[in-house]
Amino acid sequence: METAKSSAPDGVAQRGAPVAWTPSHELEPHEWAAAGRRIGVVGRCIQWLLGDWIAYGNAKFGERYSLAGKITGYDTQTLMNMVYVASRFPISRRREKLSWSHHETLSALDLDEQDRWLDQAATHRWSVADLRTMVRAARRRSPGGDEGAEGAAAVSVKEPERGGAGSDALVSCPRCGQAVSLDELGLA
């Protein structure tokens, strides 16, 4: 077995699973920043990479979840979820400014609804928790929604004032208070 520093790319310790980062030499500030950017990119996109990789293996060689689990160390259900989300968002529809978890939150919705929510999440810079809260609140307020759903107190839903400019309900972000109309989301 090789030592942590001997052949590790980009300073990642290589003893089984990487659990540490060490530089292979003294770094200049720009080299340190570049390593951090590479680590951040991998961290933010690992679910996409694994989902796409497994989908390719499944299409090319038949279902490979069990083998992929042995190779990656992830459990089968987690890998199946990664493939499902990746399949619901082709590369052209993935929003780089939003996390995989933002997309996962919306993966069961129809394509138009996914795009509306992704646009709103990016515009208002919603966290994943904010997006989940807003989706639940909008579902409660939309026709056929569950008015008694859990988390009703976590978000503010306001009916428009009589004679006001808008005629639809507003859902307010629990973190920042930004009001978004259900009509704007295409849910009125």
Place of tokens 């208002």: 124
More confident residue, 157 or 78: 78
Residue 164 banded pLDDT, cuts 50, 70, 90: very low
pTM of the model: 0.69
Predicted confidence (pLDDT) at residue 139 exceeds the cutoff of 90: no
Residue 120 banded pLDDT, cuts 50, 70, 90: very high
Residue 17 CB coordination number (10 Å):
8
Place of tokens 């083998």: 67
- Residue 26 DSSP SS3: coil
Residue 122, H or E segment: helix 111-124
- In single-letter form, the type of residue at position 20 comes to A
Place of tokens 């299409």: 59
Per-residue pLDDT, 59: 95
CB 187 within 8 A of CB 142: yes
DSSP 168: S
Tell me the pLDDT tens digit for each residue of 68-97: 999 999 999 999 999 999 999 999 999 999
Q: Which two tokens stand for residue 184?
A: 């704007």
Per-residue pLDDT, 153: 33
Place of tokens 């973190």: 175
- What distance in Å separates the CA atoms of residue 86 and residue 55, rounded to the nearest whole number? 8
Average pLDDT, the chain: 80
Q: Which two tokens stand for residue 167?
A: 């005629």
More confident residue, 78 or 171: 78
HSE-up of residue 31 (Cα within 13 Å, Cβ side): 9
Q: Which two tokens stand for residue 28?
A: 């200049």
HSE-up of residue 153 (Cα within 13 Å, Cβ side): 0
Mean per-residue pLDDT, 38-55: 94
DSSP 21: B
